[in-house]
Amino acid sequence: MHSSRCAKRAFIPISAALLLFGCARPRPVPEKYGLHIGTTHRAVLQRAIAITNTILGPSAVVTLRATDRERRGATVYLVRGAQLGDTEYCFVPQGESCVFVNDAAFDGAMHLFSGHAGSELSVPPEQLLALMLLHETGHLANHDGGSYTPPSRLALDDVTATMNVDKSRELRADAHAIRAIREAFTPGQPMPRFLAAGDLVRAVANISWNLSSRRAIDDFAANALRDQRLFLDEGYTHPNFELRFLIMNDQLQSTPESRALLADFVAGRQSTATPKSLLGIPSLMDAH
């Protein structure tokens, strides 16, 4: 009798505590934004989170987790919702410390960044998503998620020697990702970390190649004429994807070729750039 009464007494506070804990548990962030949880790319996301955390290493200030139940890290939610744009692939909502990955847009991201024809180069989906997630850990570390930077005129010096990327939150988040990859891709690191970083170095090179070769081949005439639509930023939100990948590729490769590709692109952004002749002979504008 006695022992069962004790057990009963003990049970009440425990159950009350559990109830309280249950009530205090915040509802999942996606609900606040009218989003629901996606499932299509869940396996890809889990692999991408594992790659991201491997590269960030155990001492990173910001790491990621797939669910709230894991002890440590910012939660990454795979979300769906009609209000999300087709190119809103991945972002940190304003004022939150979690990451949303747009389940419905990911196939579009693969189509844009990974190769799908001719001489283009393929990028595994989990590596593309890991690159995006590393970028988001930059926003989380800088506490600037959800905010966009207006397009800015960037000189080559801004994006190379000085890596003075303060003009753009997006480039700053990219720089965070590149620093993590470079740190992981140094001899002496644990082999899984080193190999995961090597995969992403190759993924950045392949994506840069895909974007630049499409501009050179698919948009041959527009590129030769320095059509600004190829070189300027995507609306008011993000710096041009090709520019961003050329910067990241140059930071990782540091070769004369990676610098020349970047320099050529930055020159193409200057509205005063002299259009090149399509036929390789001096154009009328060159003559003056």
> What is the smallest separation between the CB atom of 170 and Zn ion, expressed in angstroms?
5
Complex with Zn ion: residue 30 or 239, whichever CB lies closer = 239
Residues 89-128 close enough to bind Zn ion by CB under 5 A: none
> What is the smallest separation between the CB atom of 132 and Zn ion, expressed in angstroms?
9
Residue 239: Cβ within 10 Å count: 24
As given in the structure block, the two tokens for residue 5 are 């009464």
Looking at 57-65, 126-134, 162-170, 187-195, which segment touches Zn ion (CB under 5 A)?
A: 162-170
| x/- letters, 171..190, toward Zn ion (CB under 5 A) | --x-----------------
Surface-to-core class of residue 153, CB atoms within 10 Å of its CB (0-12 exposed, 13-18 middle, 19+ buried): exposed
CB 177 within 8 A of CB 134: yes
- Give the separation between CA 35 and CA 201, rounded to whole angstroms: 33
> What is the smallest separation between the CB atom of 238 and Zn ion, expressed in angstroms?
7
CB 77 within 8 A of CB 28: yes
Q: Both ends of the chain: CA-CA distance in Å?
A: 105
Complex with Zn ion: residue 170 or 250, whichever CB lies closer = 170
Looking at 6-14, 17-25, 53-61, 165-173, which segment touches Zn ion (CB under 5 A)?
A: 165-173
> What is the smallest separation between the CB atom of 90 and Zn ion, expressed in angstroms?
8
Alpha helices in 114-238 (DSSP H): 125-142, 156-159, 169-184, 191-217, 220-224, 228-231
> What is the smallest separation between the CB atom of 253 and Zn ion, expressed in angstroms?
22
As given in the structure block, the two tokens for residue 115 are 């190769």
Number of residues that bind Zn ion (CB under 5 A): 2
Which residue carries 């629901």 as its tokens?
A: 36
CB 99 within 8 A of CB 140: yes
Complex with Zn ion: residue 226 or 238, whichever CB lies closer = 238
> What is the smallest separation between the CB atom of 139 and Zn ion, expressed in angstroms?
5
Residues 199-258 close enough to bind Zn ion by CB under 5 A: none
Looking at 59-67, 106-114, 170-178, 185-193, which segment touches Zn ion (CB under 5 A)?
A: 170-178
Interface with Zn ion (CB under 5 A): 170, 173
